[in-house]
Amino acid sequence: MSLSIQTASSQLQHTMQIQGDMAKGLIKPSAMAQDETNPVSFSALMEQKIASVNNDQLVSDALTRAVDTGESDDLVGAMVATQKASLSFDAMMQIRNRLMQAFDDIMKMPI
């Protein structure tokens, strides 16, 4: 169990490092780095983002479980991971709601 917590923690740190570098402009996001000859498909992008949200949930669960069982005393890290997972899930749900609303609007258009 301790190995999976360390793995989850290292994955979280790696993700935070990459996002920090992206925020500083040192790394371009992969979706924006694509040129027009090789476009990113919408379904592939959505699958990637859903997998990312799922990974955030799994990391949050692992860190919370570690704190609950006493294997870790990093309560702050667990709470931050939980909030990150919650925010990413809420954002994904907002995107889904907007897509469904746009689909409904298109379906209601007269031909």
CA 105 to chain centre: 28
Angle of CA points 30, 59, 88, to nearest 5°: 55
pLDDT band at 28 (very low <50, low <70, confident <90, very high): low
Whether 82 contacts 60, CB under 8 Å: yes
Angle of CA points 10, 85, 65, to nearest 5°: 65
Whether 88 contacts 53, CB under 8 Å: yes
Give me the percent of the chain exceeding a pLDDT of 70: 75
Q: Which pLDDT score, from 0 to 100, does residue 81 have?
A: 93
pLDDT tens digits, one per residue of 31-60: 445 555 667 788 888 899 999 999 999 999
